[in-house]
A = this chain, B = another copy of it.
Amino acid sequence: MSVAKVIEISAESPEGFEAAIRNGMKQASKTVENIKGAWISEQKLKIENGQIAAYRVDMRVTFVLQ
């Protein structure tokens, strides 16, 4: 028997989408144990003065309940 739970997080970074993903996963693993996986549900850009100020990624994170 196995039960998992899904939370939804949104993370950003000025460097790129994969840096935003690593930020989000680092933060998620501080409050939640046994993360199994994640999937990307949205990728966005924040623009300031015509420049990309931040890359933002919405993720659904799955972790196992013990």
Contact = CB atoms under 8 A, between A and B. Distances in A.
How many copies altogether? 12
Interface residues of A, number: 45
A11 to B, nearest CB: 5
| Interface residues of A, dominant DSSP | strand
Most buried by B among A2, A22, A52: A2
B7 A11 contact: no
A56 to B, nearest CB: 8
A13 B25 contact: no
B52 A46 contact: no
Contact of A43 (B9, B28, B40): B40
B23 A12 contact: no
